[in-house]
Structure 1
């Protein structure tokens, strides 16, 4: 069974995109650049042995993101680990076996051999963060205070030239670490970390402080930016709201959820998912970001950030539920 690469990529807001029968040419999703120097094959290319989903970025300075396959690309687009992307593709396209071979290759295992159950999840060792205590101005340049950075345990990896953003379980143990390049858009997660679909960024602080009113955003940077403005916030970590994330919120102390997703189609879909799954569990509010801004971090005035949150309107579904 084959992956529908064109369909998977069609939901992405590509910059300067040109679609043909065989190839997508566009600006790189990994870099701050508008030159169409990135391409993805949409069909197998027997002459060159390229597979559908193989891509190349001519302007890449990071060797890890010069070329790759569909799993690596979709993991970046979907803001999740590559293991989660493989699981998504297996479920959607009928793969019931293990992923084997090349890191970006999906193979169907027809073996009837019984597999051992997966090992129980174990939190990561907090001491691994000691390596990343070197300061870096990147997060400060995004408007995030040093106090908030310390609260979330962020750091910097000189080896990878990337800021480190830890994700914690609700009890405060370390679940995963996101690495984000300071000069490009590329990011990845530490090996062995918990799946992002099973967590909500910042929720451990909500539990610790028993916070009942919270703003929900997409990215970790948006959440930390809101905390800098004095507003408790949590982040989904992408544009999908899984059942696991919903269950975490339902069990949390949150009684009032103000939703401030990105100002695009993906953000609107995420808001709808959150409202559908959280209806009846807490009060839901729309925090409407003005059209001139992409997201909360794009609003450069803390005063305006607070006004957007304070002026949030009760979501129409919440009103119907109350009736």
Structure 2
């Protein structure tokens, strides 16, 4: 299977990046640092023995993030489990011929790309191990009451807060670990794929909430909850069919969309509107471009004002026939007003 490593990496923003034919050098995506001390090989290097996709971080204090392979890096960039990333790569590169050129690089993932069997809920008792408080989320403006409601914990060993993801019936589906001193995060082994989950959907069912604010990250969702609104998070910048179906079946009748103020956020907003049109009333939460996301709006009253002033998506056009015709080209259109 041939993977175009360069094309996959170019889909994400990099700080202080320098690209060559063989390597990208940039600031580490795993740390709060602007020094270009992180590198990824873009093609196999016979001198060092590195494979395309291998990476290293000279400034990393954590041994787990000093070096690694392409799947681990791409899973972090895509905000998903490594199992999902392997499945994505197999779906994209595993079938059919792939052009062999300077940018199409070999990555050996044989034997590890089997589709997993249907997951069972995790044992909720695993959360007891991390049932302790940490000031990290309070410093991000999230109230202790919301943290307790969403069963946020802290893992002393890895120095990471733990954020559980639940199914609509309250069963435990996955747990996200997020380091309090760095950007690194990972998920508990054996958890459900993130594409099949919506963060906060259990709270929607518990409260029979008719209105909810949709955001990208779990921290954003808990911040909106602190402001007094039910909220859900998709966990990244893509909106899968599985996520859409979870929301369609939920009690939500009015969805207020507050994605990040960047290109990825705009794409996500369009996906949500396209897939949720006709299932509930849709509103666009606008806020100044000086804020990247809702968690940067430090004044809760200001945030409440933006949510309450959300503009209705008054009309939209989703040409289903055109989508079917253009599916081979991977194009579809959504029009907003």
Q: TM-score normalized by structure 1?
A: 0.92
Aligned residues: 310
Q: How does 1:195-210 map to 2 (within 5 A)?
A: 195-210=193-208
Specify the alignment match of 1:66 in structure 2. Answer: 66
Indicate which of 114, 119, 122 corresponds to 1:121.
119
* Equivalent in the alignment of 2:53: 53
Q: Take 1:316 and 1:59, find their aligned partners in 2: how far apart are those partners?
A: 49
Task: Find the counterpart in structure 1 of residue 321 from structure 2.
Answer: none
What is the alpha-carbon distance in structure 1 between the residues aligned to residue 63 and residue 261 of structure 2? 32
Name the structure 1 match of 2:75. 75
The answer to whether structure 1 residue 164 and structure 2 residue 186 are counterparts is no
**Superposition deviation, residue 317 in structure 1:** 4.0
Across the aligned residues of Structure 1 and Structure 2, the Cα RMSD in angstroms comes to: 2.0
Runs of 4+ in 1 over 3 A off after TM superposition: 117-120, 316-321
The 3-state SS of whatever aligns with 1:164 is: strand
Which range moved further: 311-320 or 128-137?
311-320
Question: 1:1-323 to 2 correspondence within 5 Å?
Answer: 1-94=1-94, 105-107=108-110, 119-318=117-316
- Kept in 1: contact 2:22–2:43 (CA 8 A): yes
Conserved? CA contact 1:279–1:317, under 8 Å: no
Q: Deviations over 1:175-200 (max 9, x none)?
A: 00000000000000000000110000
> Mind listing any 5+ residue stretches in structure 1 that lack a counterpart?
97-103, 110-114
**Structure 2 length-normalised TM:** 0.88
Query: Partners of 1:119 and 1:55 in 2: how far apart?
Result: 30
Q: How far apart are 1:119 and its partner, in Å?
A: 4.3
- How many angstroms does 1:48 deviate by? 1.3
Cα drift, residue 82 of structure 1: 0.1
Separation in structure 1 between the aligned mates of residue 64 and residue 10 of structure 2, nearest angstrom: 24
Q: Which runs of 5 or more residues in structure 2 are unaligned?
A: 97-106, 319-334
- SS of the aligned residue for 1:234 comes to strand
Q: CA deviation at 1:312?
A: 0.9
Instruction: Mark the CA change 1:227 to 1:187 in structure 2 (over 3 Å): closer, same or farther.
Output: same
| Distance in 1 between residues matched to 2:225 and 2:13, nearest whole Å | 29
1:124, 1:95 → 2: CA distance? Answer: 33
Cα-to-partner distance string for 1:207-242 (whole Å, 9 max, x where unaligned): 111111100000000000000010111000011100
The alpha-carbon deviation at position 127 of structure 1 amounts to 0.7
DSSP 3-state at the match of 1:167:
strand
CA offsets 1:38-57 (integer angstroms, 9 cap, x no match)? 00011111121111111000
The CA distance in 1 between the partners of 2:268 and 2:159, in whole Å, is 31
Q: Is the 8 A contact 2:119 2:191 kept in 1?
A: no
Which string of whole-angstrom CA distances, capped at 9 and with x for unpartnered residues, describes residues 283-317 of structure 1? 11111121000100000000111011111111254
CA gap of 1:191–1:118, structure 2 versus 1, over 3 A, is closer
**8 Å CA contact 2:217, 2:233 repeated in 1:** yes
- The alpha carbon displacement at 1:94 in A equals 1.6
- CA-to-aligned-CA distance 1:149-204 (integer Å, 9 cap, x gap): 00000000001100000000000010000000000000000000001100000011
